Structure 1
Amino acid sequence: MKYSLSFSLFYCYNSKIQLIHGIYMPTLEIANLVHYYRKQSGLSQQELARLAGVGKTVIYDIEKGKESVRLNTLLKVFDVLNIQMKFETPFPQATDKNS
């Protein structure tokens, strides 16, 4: 099962997260999200770390809400948990004049 996250860059600092797979969670923190889906997957922190190719302390840091975790590291963890992240911007997208 795949899950999707939608981040609005305009509200990025408020951690506005929407879980698209039929459930809306307006203020769910990334820490709680990772912890919840790790448990749902039946993985320990050590198992998730191994599958994501990161250190166990990274998973601990994410689940404790540490802000210094790199985005590419977080994306590795999301990939193992089948969570997709989508960034949106309040600015209009450029359009191709040839279309």
Structure 2
Amino acid sequence: MAEEKDPKYRNLFLGLLFDGIGMLSFMIPGIGEFSDVIWAPIAGWLMTRLYKGRVGQAAGVIAFTEELIPGLDVIPTFTLTWIYTYLLSKKKSLPAKE
């Protein structure tokens, strides 16, 4: 079977996994916020690898910031970026009616 060129479902799976990892800090009282200092730059970098161009760059900054600020770990940034990329932004590519 040929490999799919569009990594749509791979990005969804990885996004759910990375969002889960980001939310794990709530499970470890006291250590959780320290782990966010380590996870925040990793999450930002991973986001730029999953999504190329301006979307990836903007989402990387948002993921970094969201993971770094205490209490915002519940926001599923990777999943929201997937929704934007594969569901919402596709509507822009429809041909214009004259």
TM-score by length of 2: 0.37
Identify the structure with bigger relative contact order (alpha carbons < 8 Å, sequence gap 6+).
1
Which is richer in strand?
1
Which is richer in helix?
2
TM-score by length of 1: 0.37
